[in-house]
Structure 1
């Protein structure tokens, strides 16, 4: 059962219970005695039992009133303490916050603003941000070497007991080296690549990424025949530039490489192609709580 009793009404009751005088309590609360008596009556009506025994000379707590006075006193103190602690965090929070980013995607429109705002609000928290491979990000998060990571949604596979939030969509593109005859076409589809060699980041680094590319190809009616695995995104870029194969990835890394590569939009819908922020649910770090609150305020997506 829910009771419609406000914190202000609880404060009224506690003041009367402390001094056992409606006249004195009204003076302390800066309200009239009739107004105070009315509020106490409202509480008693809501609860269904009296809190005080009143006569012309004395005010005494009933057994129920004694019980509530004890419990509500603690409630009031806890509320004051929580507000104090929140203000303390705002002004004096300190500690470390380690942020990791995938080296495959561009975060320049998301992360710098977040970090600057966070450091402005909490200057005593030391923030460290660095980019890494998918594997390093996963392992560092699980080993508590990183507090929060920014990575593609598909990298959540296998991660348990984590919370995450969607940040932005990352549409994928088809990247073709300009030495490949396909680059002379104005447009191509994924089906046009069925006989091409694909450049993929090694399953040792991103099993989910490899499986995702394979699934996209199967949707177009073919399986990958020729695959060249590379250890990281820089190696992928180099391999495509050298004409060793085609790639499916975010186009940011190839946008300034028009002489060596041509970019085509991927002609398949991608419901799971977006970046996420990920952190462990059981990570007891005030800095993480504060940073994820900032994320919630800046992005409208729900935390999962």
Structure 2
């Protein structure tokens, strides 16, 4: 039974990723080869999380609006605008991103002029799924954005002010005065440092320092924390949540790699899922299997196959949007 959107009192809890997935499914259904396995995968996605149903209802509503374009002169206008290859017009990835933003906007995320979604649309630098980007803001200040990231950058009072809106960024700075870097949870000052800042969906910010030191102030507290090279810490708006050592000299993703050091399988798949569209998961009984290895991010399907082979698992691919690992004994 379809759940009404009115059953969800907080539509703003819809994430951009959920909306991207909903629009991916909507686009998939426009294809002629949307067969029974694809339909089963789609239904599994809808039932995976209550908010997926809400995202799908929003996608349908937006799809109806797009369909109305077909009655205005060119019946294939909406479809062509969405599916043209990048060298002929709007790419599919960019279309999905734009449509997902429309979905989130429709849920009330644009209520305030300073909302994160408005800020993301007007971000100075962004990356899509699986994309990375390097930016030299000034001599002595460079950024490298990881997948699904957005950041604002401006100069004010002779100082750089950065705000990470989503995703993850590697910042390398040797400027004076020190740039100020914010997220929703922390304010960071770094005069000479190389570090990553990552914004999690659960409302926390992670900082990992590879060179130099940082001064960190939670947004809703006055206490200051100094982080030194070799330290990693996660913060909420009221203070530090946990801290541990960083063993590497640089984040693996900047070298095009993903590393697992005994990570639980589900946690590894969640991390890998940041670099691809759709659902990537495993049967619940497999969630705590340990994963080891260093893998190139350029081909996530090869990583999935390699992990499955090492752990003696089967890979279920219903569509390119739904991939699941299960015990090999489940083969029929």
TM over 0.5: no
Greater Rg by CA:
1
- Tell me the TM-score range normalised by the shorter chain: under 0.3
TM-score (norm 1): 0.24
Alignment TM-score, normalising by the size of structure 2: 0.22
Higher strand share: 2
